[in-house]
Structure 1
Amino acid sequence: MKFKELVTPSLTDLFIKELQRMILSGELKIGDKLPTERELSENMKVSRAVVNGGLNQLAEMGFIRIAPRKGAYVNDYIESGNMEVLVGIMEYNGWRFTPEYLEPLLQFRSSNEPYFMELAAGHADSPYLMEVPDILARLRENPTHQNAGQLVFLFYHKTALASGNIIFPLILRTFDQVYQSMVSVIAQLGFLADLTADLEAIYEAIRKGRQQDAKEADLLCIAHTRSWINSHYKPGDIF
């Protein structure tokens, strides 16, 4: 049995997480000026180097902006943020997300996934697809919710690699935990077998080189995901 290595977060990581929490919870509001580096250092009992490094990383993410000789201010992170902001939001919610985040994520999937499924069907002999039957077989064995999320993400990642587009797998990798969280919810709601059937339909179309069918099967899977989750939750719920 292999045990996961435990890694202690650095003080800089802890500093960043705490300021992210304060921003995302609304304790620090957009436009608020942060205390000086000295004040943050004294209040949070960390060195100035930790504060300086943490603030610079938060600025790179888009959570704050640093104005020379004026100080640091909370940014409109939706306008100015990058993928790390989405990761920060998801971590803050414990890798769960409100239905308000569901639709934008599904829209993003709809604008990307069907295209790389279509491309994958044009590369049906790709070695990346050789692992897909085993992934689907393991999904049919009723895995834990966590393992189901990992397997479904692996399915999408392998098909993205098979597409031959070098950008798709890289973009998809940044959504790894988002996909896993979504699948975990679907499994908890009792729809894992239905999701597996959808993935099997996608793979069957890819395997036979039917590009349009692969594209449409993925769009149907996304529509089912929307229906499964929305039928059990209302705006404001967290799942």
Structure 2
Amino acid sequence: MPFQPVQPEKLSNSVVRQIELLILRGILRPGERLPSERELSERMHVSRPSLREALAELQERGLLTSRAGAGVYVADVLGSAFSDALVQLFSSHDEAVFDYIAFRRDMEGLAAERAAQYGSATDLKVIDTIFNKMEAAHSKRNPAEEAGLDADFHLSIIEASHNVVMLHMMRSMYQLLREGVFYNRRIMFQQRATRGTLLEQHRAINVALQGRDAVGARNAVEAHLNFVDQCLTDKQKSDRNEAVAQQRFDHESSR
């Protein structure tokens, strides 16, 4: 017969599995500090030796990292998504920018559709809360704050799609976007008319999601990223025209 005796599971293995799932589901994020050993053992109802054994195993596997005098943190598991050489290529070629936007349009359109269908009521509350913060930040005219909330808004939609592979893949790509590898997002928020348009586009996405309109949510995301694509195309053309105009001015001034 194929049956085997059931063995009682070590407490440390249960701790490992629980923390693994929190990282896999994106609840614990790269760089996030875990509670103190005392607090964590109390929350999980395990002894400190069992907890230490679990944390040591997770560190050995590269999921957690210990910082002397600072505690235990979730490792930067996203950092391995792209090699340094590839990141340098992305940052130095315009082609990568537009391929990135096209990739986002496909992936985020799908994520928005899934979020409308499968997201829980709490998922949609998170999205709505971030959008409300975007509205509040809009009146402050702070491009850095608006850009940060923009990223949070899109990532909250991906989280609500409940696809862990998509979640970790897109988080790694958003990290590069935050660092300005693909384009400087604050440029998108500097023009008053553009800022207003972007806010209304995010409002349309949010309204569709709150109404669980899967097709409408996907269309709204795709329309938004088409707009971003066009804005960046226009900015590149404007920069090229300015460079030529500057050459003409320099030549006239030297005559």
- The bucket for the TM-score relative to the shorter chain is 0.5 to 0.7
Give the Cα separation in 1 of the matches to 2:176 and 2:121. 26
**Aligned length in residues:** 154
Give the Cα separation in 1 of the matches to 2:146 and 2:83. 24
Asked if 1:220 is matched to 2:223, the reply is: yes
TM-score (norm 2): 0.53
Give the Cα separation in 2 of the matches to 1:84 and 1:133. 36
Q: Name the CA shift for 1:84/1:195 in 2 (closer, same or farther; >3 Å).
A: farther
Which of 90, 98, 116 is the equivalent residue of 2:111? 116
Asked if 1:87 is matched to 2:90, the reply is: no
Which stretches in structure 1 are left out of the alignment for 5+ residues? 1-60, 62-80
Structure having the higher helix fraction is 2
Which of 124, 128, 133 is the equivalent residue of 2:128? 133
1:153 is matched by which residue type in structure 2?
A: A
1:211 maps to what in 2? 214
Which of 142, 145, 148 is the equivalent residue of 1:144? 142
Greater Rg, structure 1 or structure 2? 2
Question: The residue matched to 1:204 in structure 2 has which SS?
Answer: helix
Question: The residue matched to 2:113 in structure 1 has which SS?
Answer: helix
Percentage of matched positions with identical amino acids: 17
1:185 is matched by which residue type in structure 2?
A: I
2:171 maps to what in 1? 173
Displacement of 1:236 in angstroms is: 8.2
1:151 is matched by which residue type in structure 2?
A: L
Deviations along 1:80-103, whole A, 9 cap, x unmatched? Answer: x9354443456xx5xxx6543321
Which of 189, 198, 203 is the equivalent residue of 1:187? 189
Displacement of 1:167 in angstroms is: 1.2
Question: The residue matched to 1:233 in structure 2 has which SS?
Answer: helix
TM-score (norm 1): 0.56
Displacement of 1:126 in angstroms is: 4.1
